[in-house]
Amino acid sequence: MNFPILSSLILLPTIGALFILFTKSSSGKYQSAKYVSLFISLANFLLSIYLWYIFDKNSVDFQFVENREWLSGFINYKVGIDGISILFIILTTFITPICIISVNATITNRLKDFLIAILIMETFMIGVFCSLDLVVFYLFFEAGLIPMFLIIGIWGGERRVYSAFKFFLYTLLGSVLMLVAIISIYWITGTTDVEKLYELGIKAEYQNLLWLAFFSSFAVKTPMWPVHTWLPDAHVEAPTVGSVLLAAILLKMAGYGFIRFSIGLFPIASENFTMLVYILSLIAIIYTSLVALMQEDMKKLIAYSSVAHMGFVTLGIFTMTQQGIEGSIFQMISHGLVSAALFLSVGVVYERHHTRLINKYGGLVSIMPRYAIVFMVFTLGALGLPGTTGFIGEFLILMGAFEKNILVAMIASLGVILGAAYMLWLFKRVVFGEMNNQELKSMKDLKTFEIITLSALVVPILFFGFYPEPLMNSIETSVENTLNMYNFDLINNLAAKD
Amino acid sequence: MENFQYILPEIFISVSIMIFLLVGVFKKNSATLIYNLSNISLVILLALIINLSSLDTIYLFNESYLIDNLSNYMKIILVGSGIFVMLTGSKYIQVINLNKIEYPILILSSILGMMIMISSNDLIVFYMGLELQSLALYVLASFNRDNLLSTESGLKYFVLSALSSGLLLYGCSLTYGFSESTNFDQILINSTEFNYGTTFGIVFILVGLAFKISAVPFHMWAPDVYQGSPTSVTLFFAILPKIAALSVFIKFLYTPFANMNDQWQTIIVFISIASMIFGAVAAIGQKNLKRLIAYSSISHMGYALAGLATVSNQGIQSSITYISIYLVMNLAFFSCLFMLKRNDKYYENIDDLSGLSKKHPILSFSLLIVLFSLAGIPPLAGFFAKFYVFLAVVEQSMYFLAIVGLLATVVAAFYYLRIIKIIYFDPEKDGYETSHNFGLKITLAISTIFILAYFIYPSGITEIVSKITMI
């Protein structure tokens, strides 16, 4: 067996967390803890880039597979990646160091514990995207609740307890049904190994119920309307870094789960329930966009816009077209970058002015010109202007949707307009306009570390917006393979019926 | 005479009890000595049992006593947790002035009774063991005799337990009457045909056993007794009688009544679902940690029984795994409870935990791990316990039981989260003492590491337990 590169990726942050546990604080500043965590997360990022480099983009198989006996006789610890998962892993390892740099500003108490929580979180998130066994996947998927609960609850805002509980219980309630489904799959097919399940297939008669059980978990996590209400609460109360992790990576677990498990394992049921997903996605796109228009809290507005964007993602996935799924993956990556950037931007002004209410701001362009520029890039990224990553994702999704159902595509296109409306309006109210509030005058422009983190996010948003080829290249074969298997199963099923 | 070598552990512990009694009578101020000696004798007892455990199934004394994989494993975890219970409680009973010679002796006799229960293969032997453990438990519950709550709990436990023993005995006599034997294997052979007498016998016996394991609807004693007893006794109550009662459950269901599973399966499913739901819901409003853990243990017993309801080896093994992990979690939880001491006073209300994490990060972290594990969140040990049970339950297509059970875990998660919230999110209060005795610290360390690191090698317990087959 080769060097277990994926396990190292998963374990490295935890090892870093153990190191931090033993660091000492000099006059309450935790410098060494910060450096250790930054070093570890950057090392992990470089490792994942190296992984992307040696990754064979033209292979349909899972690569770097590690298969170890774990629960004797039942379940193996199995990890491996394909072109889809590698992008999410890089997104995770890219966002984590940015979070750690931004910790400086936002977290004042118990910094050490916070860094440990973030690193443990990174382990679980990478684990989710690597796992090739349903039980291992569930383990990582659920384990992420623990650090996130603590991040919201300890370092959050005023209503943090309510939000933390809501986040935890909603997600747990959604996932317990998935656990029943996973166990049922084990007894129906005799394995929970994803690769084997792809080969074996699951009998059509079981698929609908199993699909619904998985859906209940992913729908909460995505989040889809009507179970999205935990997200605005969690986002508003979480500290900036917590919101970034939540929006950028945690929400993507569900989208990834839809592609990997819902479509991969239950193609017939996915076909049956396509309309349900379309309708829920459209409601999410239109309804939450309208709700976002009316928000007075910046974080809440971005949270609702996340729901709308994830609506596009679920819509794209269930078009079952090459463009739709590729667009969804692209949209997830793009949303991961853009929403992280937006939350950080809100964090920048919140840290200076200590309010998130939109009407307390105005005319920031005259005192914070640099901030106004980066914030504009992110706003345009969020509304999907050509030249940013947001455009490519939405465009491909809509292309896929037009191919399958014109009405759905037309309604979804309305969401693009609404998205432009609420994002531009937000930008106008915060950055342009009269500066009525005298206190704002004392606000300083971006500090060095903020320039570093925000420009680190500007670069990929613009770069992949103009040149999406590297990302597309990596997912193309895997998406094609997923769709081929999907169509193959559907045809087989039709043949079996005849 | 050759039978005696196989019951060496039981003989050893009986002799120890008698010697300790004599020492206690003739030597003044020997309480601490006897406490330590009892602990040493438990270690020797454990070694003796492990020494016997390599043997196959052995019937003793006219087939009324049975040593097999099940009884060996259960005795090992019973005595093992007994040692830790003694270790953690040693300082506690000194502080609250309960360091009397009777205390360790009562614990030892109760353990002896449980060992007899676990190994019994005959109704009369079983009843003897049951009463021996119960008598010791009555006294232990009211051991803090100057405390109103403690005496109340002892009396309550005595009255209710006597009632349940009566029902159990009635069930035994009905079973004997209709199957013409007290031997478990004979009962199995003689009760091939359906008759109402044996069915009633089963129901009464199950009621008695459900009482001992504190399953709904026979749980009423548990919260009061848990709260009233001295904490070290509560810990004892939370673990050891449950191990014994669960193994007797397995024994009854799968030896004498194995043919009548269509009669008892519904009962067990009902008891299991009721315990899971009731335990989860009732714990939400509790303010006292011991009372809360009583409700939590009710719901945990529901999960352990869910495994038994499946009528499969997989289910039995999952129940045994469940109770093994459950006892470690309880040991860890109570170790934390013993550490909430300030000026020779122990604190046991949830509010006393407020803001604990600021002054006691390690203790809080252990509690965090234990509580998430009790809630069944992966990757902690408690998740695997539930996972095994539901693996067995779904195998038998009992989806209703599985879904209700998992939904109950979500409700239960709420009150565990509430404690975590109080520890981590709430404003801090006065700190507690930081120096603790070695036994307490080592127990907490071992149990927390066990819970935390269980996922690295989860097949350890499974492999041992998989030797236990009843069907």
Which amino acid type is present at position B195? N
The pLDDT tens digits of the residues spanning A247-272 come to 888 888 988 999 888 888 888 888 88
Verify cis geometry, omega within 30 degrees of 0, for the bond prior to A239: no
pLDDT of residue A105: 64
Sign of the four-CA dihedral A52, A53, A58, A62:
negative
**Residue in B with minimal Cα distance to A157:** B425
| Contact between A149 and B394 using a beta-carbon 8 Å cutoff | no
pLDDT of residue B471: 72
User: Measured between beta carbons, which residues in chain B are less than 8 angstroms from residue A172?
Assistant: 377, 409-410, 413
Measured CA to CA, the distance from residue A278 to residue A261 in angstroms comes to 18
Q: Residue B187: pLDDT above 60?
A: yes
Residue of A155, A180, A230 best to disrupt the B interface, most CBs of B under 10 A: A180
DSSP of A421-464: HHHHHHHHHHHSS----GGGGG-----HHHHHHHHHHHHHHHHH
Q: Tokens at residue B75, please? A: 């005795």
Q: Tokens at residue A446, please? A: 């971006």
ipTM reported for the complex, 2 dp: 0.90
Question: Of A316, A286, A277, which is closest to residue A304 (Cα–Cα)?
Answer: A286
The angle at the Cα of B360, spanning B359 to B365, to the nearest 5 degrees, equals 135
The angle at the Cα of A293, spanning A313 to A279, to the nearest 5 degrees, equals 35
Which residue do the tokens 């009464």 mark?
A: B204
pLDDT of residue A27: 54
Count of CB contacts below 8 A, A vs B?
A: 87
Measured CA to CA, the distance from residue A228 to residue A58 in angstroms comes to 37
Contacts of B90 (CB under 8 A, 6+ apart): B35, B39, B437, B439
| Cβ-nearest to B377 among A142, A160, A183 | A142
pLDDT of residue B99: 85
Mean pLDDT score of chain A: 86
Our measurement of the distance from residue B452's CA atom to the centroid of its chain's CA atoms, rounded to an integer in Å, reads: 21
| Cβ-nearest to A153 among B361, B409, B424 | B424
Q: What are the Cα distances from residue B186, in Å, to A99, A196, A272, B171, B191?
A: 69, 48, 56, 16, 8
Contacts of A6 (CB under 8 A, 6+ apart): A51, A64, A66, A79, A80, A81, A130
Q: Is the pTM here over 0.80, yes or no? A: yes
Question: Of A276, A342, A349, which is closest to residue A309 (Cα–Cα)?
Answer: A342
Question: Of B435, B442, B415, which is closest to residue B331 (Cα–Cα)?
Answer: B442
Q: Residue B82: pLDDT above 90?
A: yes
The pLDDT tens digits of the residues spanning B435-471 come to 888 889 999 999 999 999 898 888 888 888 888 887 7
Q: Tokens at residue B162, please? A: 């006597």
Strand extents, DSSP E, B315-399: 341-342, 345-346
Q: How far is B57 from chain A (nearest CA, A)?
A: 25
Q: Residue B401: pLDDT above 70?
A: yes
User: Measured between beta carbons, which residues in chain B are less than 8 angstroms from residue A140?
Assistant: 378-379
Percent of chain A residues past pLDDT 90, beyond the cut: 11
pLDDT of residue A70: 84
Measured CA to CA, the distance from residue A162 to residue A51 in angstroms comes to 40
Count of C-beta atoms within a 10 Å radius of residue A495: 8
Burial B378-401 (b: 16+ CB within 10 A, else e): bbbbbbbbbbbbbbbbbbbebeeb
The pLDDT tens digits of the residues spanning B244-302 come to 999 999 988 888 888 888 888 899 999 999 999 999 999 888 899 999 999 999 999 99
User: Is A19 within 8 Å of A71 (Cβ atoms)?
Assistant: no
Question: Of A171, A170, A191, A169, which is closest to residue A182 (Cα–Cα)?
Answer: A191
Sign of the four-CA dihedral B224, B226, B232, B233:
positive
Mean pLDDT score of chain B: 89
**Residue in B with minimal Cα distance to A170:** B410
- Contact of A70 with chain B, judged by CB distance below 8 Å, is answered with yes
Measured CA to CA, the distance from residue B445 to residue B462 in angstroms comes to 23
- At A25, the pLDDT band (50, 70, 90 cuts) reads low
H/E run at residue A77 = strand A75-81
The pLDDT tens digits of the residues spanning A440-466 come to 777 777 788 888 888 888 899 889 888
The pLDDT tens digits of the residues spanning A222-235 come to 888 888 888 888 88
User: Measured between beta carbons, which residues in chain B are less than 8 angstroms from residue A139?
Assistant: 378-379, 383, 455
Helix axes B361-375, B438-453, angle to 10 degrees: 50
Sign of the four-CA dihedral A105, A109, A112, A118:
negative
User: Is B215 within 8 Å of B298 (Cβ atoms)?
Assistant: yes
The pLDDT tens digits of the residues spanning B340-390 come to 888 888 888 888 888 888 888 888 889 999 999 999 888 899 999 999 999
- At B1, the pLDDT band (50, 70, 90 cuts) reads low
Measured CA to CA, the distance from residue A391 to residue B335 in angstroms comes to 57
Measured CA to CA, the distance from residue A76 to residue A63 in angstroms comes to 17
pLDDT of residue B451: 92
The pLDDT tens digits of the residues spanning A90-114 come to 999 999 998 888 886 667 777 888 8
Question: Of B55, B284, B58, B260, which is closest to residue B178 (Cα–Cα)?
Answer: B260
